[in-house]
Structure 1
Amino acid sequence: MRGKDLVAVLATALAFAWPVVAPADSLEMESDVVEATLDNGLTVLVLEDRRAPVVANMVWYRVGSADEHSGVTGISHMLEHMMFRGTEAYEPGEFSRIVSRLGGRENAFTGRDYTGYFQIIGRDHWETVMAMEAERMQYLKLQDDEFQPELRVVQEERRLRVEDQPNSLLREQVMATAFFNHPYGIPVIGWMSDIEAYTLADTQAWYDRYYHPNNAVVVVVGDVDAEEVIAAAREHFGDIPAGDLPETKPRTETPQRGERRITLEAPAELPFLMMGWKAPVLNTLDDPMDAYALMVAAGVLDSGEASRFAREIVRGEELAGATSARYSPFSRLDDLFMIAAVPSADTDIESLEAALLEQVERLKDEPVSDSELERVQAQVIASEIYQRDSVRSQAFQLGMLETIGVGWQEGDRFVERVRAVTAEDVQRVVREYLVPNQRTVGILDPQPLDGEARPDSGQAYGDDTGGL
């Protein structure tokens, strides 16, 4: 991604920013999405929101790191960078200059299941950027003199965001340890050895394989007329031919038959502990309630100052300086239910791990109280609703749900699903999925920084570069 890693930022915001809100029954979520499918297979989603004279225009492609294989890991992200380096009609960088001249903002992001491009623009200019996206869907111009500098940018991006960030490096290695032949073991940015070996032909082949209208979703949210948007999409995208998409081969994960552990030694100020359990998602479950119950379980463990981790482990026993629990049901394939923590000054990793697991076991043994369940449900719902304050967030949600195969309609069912979770549901899913033989544990063993003695482990947490 150009700029900040949008997917990581959004995921962090969704998972760990839990506001204090009114009771769950006072919150509602509704949308009035207009959907169309063009003859070439392109999906178009439009949501009118006239609160401000602003429009979010997005194009999503159903391709990400989960579609890659050894030798070209990270190539989806590399292509994302090259999408700004010129087409037949636009010189390198001209796309961005036009958006800026029109007073807009633009960026892109790559994830495991998708790659997306977006502009936030005034209501008078949305069709201009839509036409530009149609141009680069069909007429991207890949040139070696543009490729080589961008390749160096991606290499440096990996160094800065992963290799120089010990917590990020640990998470990458936990994922690779948890998943043997499941594609989520591949880092989105790719392995450095693969990045260094990219060729222009690799990038061209990826573009030719996946960048087709029948593999894309156009999302427009804001001060627009839905019929006009769909008509414009037909005008600009309608003549682009559908492509022959590769057959998707099953990549079934090798059954895990016991706990897996990894220790990472890296220069760092503080130790770090991560634990992940293999867990199903909406796309892989027969009953969607399991996924929503796992979301609520994560909220019970870590959802602000009143949550169990904060109350019992951070403030009570003072074993950790920071904790987190995260689960998202929104992916193409099974994922991990994740817990992470930074030990306090006088706590060893083993004691911290035992305390975290004790809280997980407590969820299995004792049903959540009605008051705690209602509080967490309200926070889970509110964290989703408050995102809809911006046209970009609304467009992101629609595009993400549609692209991963869940369908944008799931957003309208979110409140109902969360409200329907019972204490028995939470207890049942924790017993079923958070079991030892599906667990992967990662420990960061901090080494001296720049050859100097390790800083006092009692220093305050907050500026640790890896985050939670």
Structure 2
Amino acid sequence: MKKVYIYAASLALALTAVQGVAQDRKQPAPGPAPTINISEPTSFVLKNGLKVLIVKNNKLPQVSYTLTIDNPLVFEGDKAGVSSLVSGMMGTETKNKKKDVFNEEIDFLGASIRFSSSGAYASGLSKYNAEVLELMAEGALNSVFTQEEFDKTKAQAIEALKINEKSVTEVAAKLEDALLYGKDNAAGEFETLQTIESVTLKDVQEYYVKHFNPNNAYLVVVGDVDYKSTEKLVTKLFGKWKKSNATYQSNTVKGNVAKTQIDFIDMPNAVQSEIALVNEVELKMNDKDFFAALIASQILGGGGEGRLFLNLREAHGWTYGAYSMVSTSRKYPGKFKATASVRNVVTDSAVTEFIKEIDLMRTTLVKPEELKNAKAKYVGSFVMSIQKPETVARFALNKELHKLPKDFYENYIKNVNAVTAEDVQRVAKKYFLKDNQRIVIVGKGADVVKGLENLGLPINYYNTFGDLIDKPVFEKAIPAGVTVESTVDKYIAAIGGEKQVNAVKSILMKSSAAVQGMNLEVTLKLKDGYLYSEQKISGGPVVGKQILTPKGGYVIAQGQKMEMEGEELKKLRDEAVLFPELEWKKGKSVSLVGVESIDGKDAIGIQDGDTVYYYDLASGLKVSTIATKSFGEQSMQEITTYKDYKEVKGVKFPFTQIINVGMEMEVKVTELKVNEGVSDADFK
């Protein structure tokens, strides 16, 4: 069956109904820069090493607690992911409170508490400050890690990794740091199925005992609290927290390349290329270059006013957005990064424009208006941020961790406004290393590598695990004798034979999928040219319907009925067929597009309009469909993978579908009926 459009449309319809419509809000015109007054924290240190910073703020009857474990980076190696599992399990159950009791007490106080392997955060009303901190301390210092919770958390981590294996964005994100810093150290390593599988409950327990300690810990308290009583409470709750004798390896990273190069990772399912130009930087918050580097990055790619955005999006229409950033270094080098997601066909052109814009920042002075706007943007963001308690806590901690002057934030606006065009050019030369960058690209090699080779830059090839490999074969030859006709015949034979397939006149299918923490139930009734699709949240009302009638079609979403017409109606009616392969046998024009690797197996593709269907060369079964959707100059793919074929009335159907429509979800068929449960009355 042809369900990629139907399912994607159904899920998109349901998501729209669940989420509602976001409203644009225009930013008000900036006023004069205010005077910045940030309270200086009072502090004390417990005997175990925990340093406590208290920032009194009685504007609102609220309090927040931020616990930060500032240990050196931990290289997890073949257990990469153990810290993530610790984060996922912490606070679910403690030595003194069962899971349900712990959560009920948090809810009763109206508090917010969360934990990770490197700290904890809690906030609530100041009248409950003692109770809130007691619960945070209980979860942080007395977490219990049970086998049941471990198995659950590990299974979730494995499932997430499996989903992200085909995500071009996720692969790009993890390999960017792996290639920049090296995956053999804590700054560049990443989790894999193999490393997560190797983690045991004992590993989690030992990591918690060894690394969740007060040796390098800070507790920042912000809000309407009394210093003396807070000191007494913190001492009572955290005073017996024991130090650890943990030792840490030094963290040596790779360093920048001698000459700019392209590091390419092939992902055949990519409709867009993820591009990141990166280099290491040695920049600290207390360096004289800090503010100039922020402004330089803002001008280059800080948002809709940045040069990269104006070039790649506004002038060329190649991307939704192009950005840059520069991060500071403390435990390991920071990085400069310029990035965008662009269409395959313009990947090489986009790289050329990135290099051009970076070079201009290094060789010419920025315009006065650009400098003025960048400063205004930073000042505005800074002023807005200091209204938030969590920002005040971060500022207090930053002063400690980065050894900042006491008046660093009081002078923040003054230092931003003091940056000159000459400063911007100077730091661009120093930190935007045009001649020593890794240009990390994750994309479809068959579409983009020829263009990249014409740029004259050396190209290294890596697999999705960050291992250096030989140049892949991007275009596999179609085996002799394989045609559209032979592929269709093999598929029909594989699912039951032409007689059985032709006997299918209607299908009723019920399925479910987890969407944003909710269970979405979809009922699909299908005849050739007719469709009924209903979506509902389990235990809730129907959130959407989509119906193709003999004369037209309509959608119901959020209680509103919208008629379908024109090209939209025609396209859906063309899609609403039981077996598109039978239409091809009748003479519909389609074409063979080549061999791709789908889940490690060779599959032959057949293109029908904007959709390519892939069939396993060995088994003949349909294993994937990739539908390309265009939105003006932009395009995206809807990728469906078919698994778990089961026979119903002599015909095999996939009972599991992995659908990617910007996010990935697993759809499980719970009921499938052939030639029953569907009537003409459904299509009215």
State the TM-score, normalized to the length of structure 2: 0.58
Aligned equivalents of 2:66, 2:100: Cα separation in 1: 19
Q: Compared with structure 1, are the counterparts of its residues 248 and 91 closer, same or farther at alpha carbon in structure 2 (3 Å cutoff)?
A: same
SS class of match (1:242): coil
Q: Compared with structure 1, are the counterparts of its residues 32 and 442 closer, same or farther at alpha carbon in structure 2 (3 Å cutoff)?
A: same
Aligned equivalents of 1:407, 1:94: Cα separation in 2: 42
- Percent of aligned pairs sharing the same letter: 18
Q: Compared with structure 1, are the counterparts of its residues 130 and 211 closer, same or farther at alpha carbon in structure 2 (3 Å cutoff)?
A: same
5 Å-filtered alignment, 1:348-363, equals: 348-363=346-361
Q: What do the CA deviations read for 1:372-410 (whole angstroms, capped 9, x no partner)?
A: 2232122123223322332234334544x2685456955
Structure 1 vs Structure 2 CA RMSD: 3.1
SS class of match (1:241): coil
Question: What's the counterpart of residue 95 of structure 1?
Answer: 102
Q: Compared with structure 1, are the counterparts of its residues 21 and 291 closer, same or farther at alpha carbon in structure 2 (3 Å cutoff)?
A: farther
Question: What's the counterpart of residue 82 of structure 2?
Answer: 75
1:201 Cα deviation (Å)? 1.6
Which of the residues 39, 45, 55 maps onto 1:47?
Answer: 55
Q: Compared with structure 1, are the counterparts of its residues 382 and 272 closer, same or farther at alpha carbon in structure 2 (3 Å cutoff)?
A: same
Q: Which 5+ residue runs of structure 1 have no aligned equivalent?
A: 1-16
Runs of 4+ in 1 over 4 A off after TM superposition: 17-21, 23-27, 402-413, 446-450, 456-464
1:262–1:443 contact (8 Å) kept in structure 2: yes
Q: What do the CA deviations read for 1:81-115 (whole angstroms, capped 9, x no partner)?
A: 221232211223543332112111222456xxxx2
Greater shift, 220-229 or 454-463, is seen at 454-463
SS class of match (2:327): coil
1:453 Cα deviation (Å)? 3.9
Question: What's the counterpart of residue 124 of structure 2?
Answer: 121
Which of the residues 605, 624, 636 maps onto 1:451?
Answer: 624
Q: Compared with structure 1, are the counterparts of its residues 109 and 251 closer, same or farther at alpha carbon in structure 2 (3 Å cutoff)?
A: same
Question: What's the counterpart of residue 30 of structure 1?
Answer: 38
1:250 Cα deviation (Å)? 4.2
Q: Compared with structure 1, are the counterparts of its residues 348 and 27 closer, same or farther at alpha carbon in structure 2 (3 Å cutoff)?
A: farther
1:206 Cα deviation (Å)? 1.2
Query: Which amino acid is 1:197 matched to?
Result: S
5 Å-filtered alignment, 1:22-421, equals: 22=30, 25-26=33-34, 28=36, 30-63=38-71, 66-109=73-116, 115-160=118-163, 162-180=164-182, 181-187=184-190, 190-254=191-255, 256-260=257-261, 261-265=263-267, 267-282=269-284, 288-329=287-328, 331-343=330-342, 348-399=346-397, 401=398, 404-406=401-403, 409=406, 410-421=408-419
Q: What do the CA deviations read for 1:402-427 (whole angstroms, capped 9, x no partner)?
A: 68545695545543443333222221
SS class of match (1:214): coil
Aligned equivalents of 1:191, 1:253: Cα separation in 2: 21
2:50–2:219 contact (8 Å) kept in structure 1: yes
1:272 Cα deviation (Å)? 2.5
1:86–1:142 contact (8 Å) kept in structure 2: yes
Question: What's the counterpart of residue 421 of structure 2?
Answer: 423
Q: Compared with structure 1, are the counterparts of its residues 258 and 212 closer, same or farther at alpha carbon in structure 2 (3 Å cutoff)?
A: same
Query: Which amino acid is 1:258 matched to?
Result: K
Aligned equivalents of 1:182, 1:255: Cα separation in 2: 15
Q: Compared with structure 1, are the counterparts of its residues 262 and 402 closer, same or farther at alpha carbon in structure 2 (3 Å cutoff)?
A: farther
SS class of match (1:176): helix
2:295–2:424 contact (8 Å) kept in structure 1: yes
Query: Which amino acid is 1:28 matched to?
Result: I
Larger radius of gyration between Structure 1 and Structure 2: 2
Aligned equivalents of 1:186, 1:406: Cα separation in 2: 28
Greater shift, 332-341 or 128-137, is seen at 128-137
2:213–2:242 contact (8 Å) kept in structure 1: yes
Question: What's the counterpart of residue 492 of structure 2?
Answer: none
Aligned equivalents of 1:55, 1:215: Cα separation in 2: 23
SS class of match (2:127): coil
Q: What do the CA deviations read for 1:125-158 (whole angstroms, capped 9, x no partner)?
A: 2222322333344433222232111211222344
2:181–2:253 contact (8 Å) kept in structure 1: no
Q: What do the CA deviations read for 1:278-304 (whole angstroms, capped 9, x no partner)?
A: 112317xxx612233222111001233
Greater shift, 348-357 or 332-341, is seen at 332-341
Aligned equivalents of 2:109, 2:439: Cα separation in 1: 49
Question: What's the counterpart of residue 4 of structure 1?
Answer: none
Give the structure with the higher percent helix.
Answer: 1
Aligned equivalents of 2:392, 2:51: Cα separation in 1: 17
Q: Compared with structure 1, are the counterparts of its residues 443 and 23 closer, same or farther at alpha carbon in structure 2 (3 Å cutoff)?
A: farther
Question: What's the counterpart of residue 3 of structure 1?
Answer: none
Aligned equivalents of 2:176, 2:266: Cα separation in 1: 10
SS class of match (2:94): coil
Give the structure with the higher percent strand.
Answer: 2
Aligned equivalents of 1:93, 1:393: Cα separation in 2: 31
SS class of match (2:305): coil
SS class of match (2:60): coil
SS class of match (2:207): helix
Question: What's the counterpart of residue 491 of structure 2?
Answer: none
1:309–1:356 contact (8 Å) kept in structure 2: yes
1:444 Cα deviation (Å)? 2.8
1:349 Cα deviation (Å)? 0.7
Question: What's the counterpart of residue 682 of structure 2?
Answer: none
Greater shift, 357-366 or 317-326, is seen at 317-326
Query: Which amino acid is 1:307 matched to?
Result: G
1:24–1:378 contact (8 Å) kept in structure 2: no
1:298–1:327 contact (8 Å) kept in structure 2: yes
1:233 Cα deviation (Å)? 1.0
Aligned equivalents of 2:635, 2:100: Cα separation in 1: 37
Q: What do the CA deviations read for 1:270-327 (whole angstroms, capped 9, x no partner)?
A: 33322212112317xxx61223322211100123333222333322243433111122
1:121 Cα deviation (Å)? 1.1
1:214–1:242 contact (8 Å) kept in structure 2: yes
1:209–1:246 contact (8 Å) kept in structure 2: no
